[in-house]
Amino acid sequence: MRSPLVDEVIVVSDGSTDCTAEAARQAGAQVFDLPTQSGKGSALRHGVTWTDAPIVLFLDADLRGLREEHLESLLSPVLSGSRQMNIGLRDRGKFSRFLGPRLPLVSGERALLRTIFEMVPDEHLKGYMVEASLNFACRSHGLVYGSVFMSGVKIRTKFQKVGWKAFPQYARMWWQVLKAFWVVRLAYASGKVNELTSKVKRKEL
């Protein structure tokens, strides 16, 4: 799949052992292999480091049903300047269109200005803190962000990967989401993050 809105495709293989990296190379993407698993936030940082693009688009590698119109719906608001960050909500069933915008926006599918990612301190590039910190970076700097529903876009679930063992994994995941939300919120409320990111001027955005 190609889109005229995307100039380059970078795939970061975070210590993966499947055939994702090789499939990406054959499709023409730039692939960077990290020798050991360093975590999602670190992988995102490596990807941003390897490009000088002013707008970046993050996508999970195991999405299903992704089409060109989904990329356009994610990128267009950021390219036009109506939003500084746009978050894609995956299709989780008939209630997802209603519930998605009302749940914490922790989706990995998002288009944003590069400078927003650069606001996130290194200590927040862990687990689900990176998504929460991106949201709070926008909020604390008065930047516009929102979400868009991506009809038909799904991801291979943990249940499909490991069966019933997914229950404790999902429990840990949502605990991490809630923990990340409050850790990041307290950091912004205390002014610690704003002090770290004060060098990023609004006019640069």
Domains identified in the chain and CATH numbers: 10-204 (3.90.550.10)
Q: Both tokens of residue 21?
A: 């990296």
| pLDDT for 12 | 93
| pLDDT for 19 | 82
| pLDDT for 169 | 64
Q: Yes or no: say if 76 and 4 are a contact pair by the CB < 8 Å rule.
A: no
Strands 63-64 and 154-155 come out as antiparallel
Of the candidates 42, 38, 195, 203, which has an alpha carbon nearest to the alpha carbon of residue 119? 195
| pLDDT for 42 | 87
- Please list, in sequence order, all residues whose beta carbon lies within 8 angstroms of the beta carbon of residue 170, skipping any fewer than 6 positions away: 158
Q: Both tokens of residue 154?
A: 């799904």
| pLDDT for 80 | 97
| pLDDT for 203 | 38
| pLDDT for 109 | 95
| pLDDT for 36 | 80
| pLDDT for 106 | 76
CA dihedral 120, 57, 24, 60 (to 10 degrees): 70
| pLDDT for 189 | 74
Within the chain, which residues score under 50 in pLDDT?
Answer: 100, 159, 196-205
